[in-house]
Structure 1
Amino acid sequence: MFSTSRSEPSRILALFVIASTLSISVFGAACTTATVGQPFSTCFDIYTNAGLTAAQFAADNPGLDCSRLQLGQKVCISSGTLPSNTPSPSPNGTCAEYTVVSGDFCAAIATKFGITVDQIEAFNAKTFQWKGCSALQVGFTMCVSPGNPPPISISNCFAPTLPSCSTSRSMRKVAYYAGFGDRRPCGINIAPDDIDWTPYTHVHFAFATITQGLQIQLDDADVPLLKRLVAQKGNHPQLKVIIAVGGWDFSESQPTRDLFSLVISSAPNRNTFITSVASFLSEFGVDGIEYPGAIERNAPATDTPNLTAFFKDLRTALPTQIISCAAPAGYWFLQGFEINKITSSVSYINMMSYDYHGQWDTNVAGQDPVTNPHTSILDMRDSALLYVRAGIDLSMGLAFYARTYQLANSGCKGYGCTMVGGGAPGPCSAAAGILTQFEVDALVKTGITPTLDIASETYWFDNQGSLVTFDQSDTWAAKSQFAATTCFGGTFIW
């Protein structure tokens, strides 16, 4: 029998007509329910076919918004309480889990489990790699009840595993434009206007520096270049321009190498610099700032908490602008960062996943002085594992240049050969151990056939007793694919 407070014959008949839509509870406190979409999808059709008036239906369903019904949602067609199908946490305290399938969205999932979208967001606030209801990923395991988030699946208790994401999602594509690129001594000069910015979402202008008075400044020769770069946004509205502070020479050489520590050392110093940054962004129409993590300056231990405080102050002063950080890819340097604290203040972090090896390996304790790729995808994977548990929005770095080694034995070929330092400078790079991509391409055009090392996804070739290790379009693509499938937020080219 149907348990109902209104037993008019017409209603009893109507209830039998839509019996396929009903779930009858044997408990007196529970109402009789109809399921949206089986077959009726509007409040009017449901209560009409149940023999109810609009007022009766509203009384049975207080707070129900008929404009937001979801397929599968239960509604009352009698007095009583809507039966709950909300999952409970597991006995061990872990939340009830649900794995997202194609076509899912939070409102539908909420309906399925008798919860709200706001509850889904709250349940997953601490779920690893949760990016919000607006960015659900097929295959993602989420919480649909209170409780501890789902554990990361790992093969053993010591080794984290990389997450998995769809490659169809939108990702950042970041480029760096170096001001000195327009005034190379070799004559290969590239102005902002010479580049098609269509594929890119962000471009970082390198570099601004810091004055002794703790003000951000730009070299006079770079001012017109930055203005021309910002002007590109007129033709490429998706493009965001960020000013990058630092540079290797500025960060490592005196008298400027200690300025990074000085800027972040106290609240007044941070405020002085940040105030100048805000004015700079406004003056040039720049969308944000990248501040580097200085990693090899033998800086004081206080730099670690001070850098965290700096990013927090910077975010307070620039609540809507882009703030990024260039961070190391190796554990030795990364341990000096409070990455888990910094990430809440920055828009994204550029992981410098290159220069894993180079001519400096001749002076590294425990490192054999042999040739190695400087952009091995195996090293990139290891770097990603350092960040993976923090759920950080990372961009993976792709190197647009080569590293070179002078071989101890010119007859040795490939990786693993003993080397004695960097290869000869190129006409454009003008430095031992490095060649620009233009120089690499010029050498290949002379008839050199590069060898692909499949394991590392890099190329190498011999150049008159030097080994050159670099990337080409297919290995860049392989690394970009790796970044996409392992949930990086994007890639950047340096």
Structure 2
Amino acid sequence: MRYPAKTIAALSAAFLLTIALAFKKSGPPAPKPVVIAYVGGFRGLIANPDSIAVEKLTHINYAFVDVKNGQAWLTNEKTDTVNFRRLNALKTRNPELKILISIGGWAWSENFSDAVLTPEGRALFAHTSVDIIRKYKLDGVDIDWEYPGVPGEEGNIYRPEDKQNYTLMFQAIRASLDSLEKETAGKYLLTTAVGGGKYFIEHTEMDKAQQYLDFVNIMSYDYKTNGTGIAGHHTNLYGSTKDSTEASADRSVQYFLRAGVPANKIVMGCAFYGRGWQLPNGDKRGLNQQAVKGARSGGYTRLKDSLMVQGYKRHWDKRAKAPYLWHPGQNIFITYDDERSVREKCRYVKKHHLAGVMFWEYSSDPKGYLLSSIHQTFTK
């Protein structure tokens, strides 16, 4: 029997489609989203480390290691070493858990510029960073250089060369980690926490730096900070107004994508704490209004268990996909992430094929309300 040419072409196409679908089904599954918790050791011993829900985490970034005399420095070595031992012990409950040291942070970033100014300096900084990993059997290095090339906090050292040296720093650390991999046959990670504003893109070479990085953790929070400015969302997924320059997590992601960071390396930040303002009146329940001063807020467990039953009313901004609290008697506005907003962020991560989410900071929600929502959304 002879078939017409059109019939043969159709059968061939159907056969090829069947093969393609079979190959797709048999191919490697998409990687599961990462869930990275920043755990604070800067206060001393971590309270109740055994209560950390490591089954719901993929990584713990231990915050912070200092930069001193051009070296990665354990300022609180006595308690840091105990914390390392206790965190490593959590791997009995989650053998896939990775523990990284996070170097820098808002208070300890002022010495990065000096430390990585020369090739010799970068080699020393890289060596001392990786030496901590080697000594305490950890899994990688996270760099939290908060403000390369910009003033930052008082006393911060910065210079135009930070832009190139930021990249060269990662190159040096990656080389040291590669040497450690040959030595131990292990796999070690290099990640970074980055500011969510356009300024960060303008003062770095993210297209070059990302080549050495496993993850780029966008600090998509603190868009608004307590004070006498405008009381607005501090960790919103989208803008709450028609202002095309308004900060948001989505806008931050777009900045880094356009700067050359692949989507599968981008990690979106969630805030496990709130920011608060005192307003002069009740106009628009404080949202995007001029504040008088800052007001106390706290971690999410406190917001949910205490403030929400003490006169504060929760509201939802549909445009921003972000919640806020308003106390009509005291004219206090509080911005934060809640279960609904972190679910929105997780859905965004899945839709846009990002690497996952991270959050600051574990102790701000000890009851695990937000982490449970993240875990449930990612495991559906």
1:436 corresponds to:
299
2:351 corresponds to:
485
Q: SS where residue 248 of structure 1 aligns?
A: coil
Q: Give the C-alpha shift of residue 263 in structure 1.
A: 1.4
Q: Give the C-alpha shift of residue 411 in structure 1.
A: 6.1
Structure 2 distance, partners of 1:293, 1:215, is 12
1:385 corresponds to:
254
2:137 corresponds to:
285
Gaps (5+ residues) in structure 2? 7-11, 179-186, 239-247, 361-380
- Checking the alignment, whether the CA contact within 8 Å between 1:414 and 1:460 is kept in structure 2 is no
Q: How many residue pairs end up in the alignment?
A: 325
Task: Report whether the alignment pairs 1:451 with 2:320.
Answer: no
Structure 1 distance, partners of 2:340, 2:319, is 14
- Checking the alignment, whether the CA contact within 8 Å between 2:171 and 2:212 is kept in structure 1 is yes
- Checking the alignment, whether the CA contact within 8 Å between 1:182 and 1:191 is kept in structure 2 is no
The 3 A distance-change label for structure 1 pair 182 and 271 is: closer
Structure 1 distance, partners of 2:124, 2:33, is 34
Amino acid at match of 2:234: H
- Checking the alignment, whether the CA contact within 8 Å between 1:181 and 1:190 is kept in structure 2 is no
User: Alignment partner for residue 162 of structure 2, among 285, 299, 303?
Assistant: 303
Task: Report whether the alignment pairs 1:194 with 2:35.
Answer: no
Q: Give the C-alpha shift of residue 170 in structure 1.
A: 1.6
The 3 A distance-change label for structure 1 pair 72 and 408 is: closer
Q: Give the C-alpha shift of residue 274 in structure 1.
A: 1.4
2:38 corresponds to:
176
Task: Report whether the alignment pairs 1:241 with 2:160.
Answer: no
Deviations 1:224-247 (A, max 9, x none): 112101111122111100110112
Task: Report whether the alignment pairs 1:472 with 2:318.
Answer: no
Q: Which has the higher helix share?
A: 2
Q: Give the C-alpha shift of residue 420 in structure 1.
A: 2.1
Structure 2 distance, partners of 1:212, 1:386, is 33
Structure 2 distance, partners of 1:411, 1:331, is 30
2:221 corresponds to:
354
How do 1:48-447 and structure 2 match up within 5 A?
Answer: 103-105=22-24, 134=28, 170-180=32-42, 190-212=47-69, 214-219=71-76, 220-251=78-109, 257=110, 259-295=111-147, 296=152, 297=156, 299-319=158-178, 320-359=187-226, 362=228, 369-378=229-238, 379-389=248-258, 390-392=260-262, 393-409=265-281, 413-423=285-295, 425=296, 434-441=297-304, 442-446=306-310
Q: SS where residue 301 of structure 1 aligns?
A: coil
Q: SS where residue 307 of structure 2 aligns?
A: helix
- Checking the alignment, whether the CA contact within 8 Å between 1:211 and 1:217 is kept in structure 2 is no
Q: SS where residue 204 of structure 2 aligns?
A: coil
Q: Give the C-alpha shift of residue 72 in structure 1.
A: 8.2
1:44 corresponds to:
none
Q: Which has the higher strand share?
A: 2
Q: Give the C-alpha shift of residue 486 in structure 1.
A: 1.3
Q: Give the C-alpha shift of residue 334 in structure 1.
A: 2.2
Structure 2 distance, partners of 1:215, 1:383, is 29
Gaps (5+ residues) in structure 1? 1-15, 24-34, 39-69, 74-100, 108-132, 137-168, 184-188, 252-256, 363-368, 426-433
Structure 2 distance, partners of 1:483, 1:311, is 25
Q: TM-score, normalised by structure 2?
A: 0.77
Structure 2 distance, partners of 1:209, 1:170, is 32
Structure 1 distance, partners of 2:72, 2:311, is 50
The 3 A distance-change label for structure 1 pair 294 and 71 is: closer
- Checking the alignment, whether the CA contact within 8 Å between 1:260 and 1:294 is kept in structure 2 is no
Structure 2 distance, partners of 1:216, 1:180, is 12
Q: Give the C-alpha shift of residue 250 in structure 1.
A: 2.0
Amino acid at match of 1:190: A
Structure 1 distance, partners of 2:39, 2:208, is 29
CA RMSD after TM alignment = 3.0
Structure 2 distance, partners of 1:458, 1:72, is 44
User: Which protein, 1 or 2, shows the higher relative CO under an 8 Å CA cutoff with sep ≥ 6?
Assistant: 2
Q: Give the C-alpha shift of residue 324 in structure 1.
A: 0.2
The 3 A distance-change label for structure 1 pair 397 and 215 is: closer
Q: Give the C-alpha shift of residue 348 in structure 1.
A: 0.9
- Checking the alignment, whether the CA contact within 8 Å between 2:267 and 2:355 is kept in structure 1 is yes
Compare CA radii of gyration and give the structure with the larger one.
1
Amino acid at match of 2:192: C
Q: SS where residue 471 of structure 1 aligns?
A: coil
Q: TM-score, normalised by structure 1?
A: 0.60
Deviations 1:350-386 (A, max 9, x none): 01111111235x4xxxxxx322111111111111111
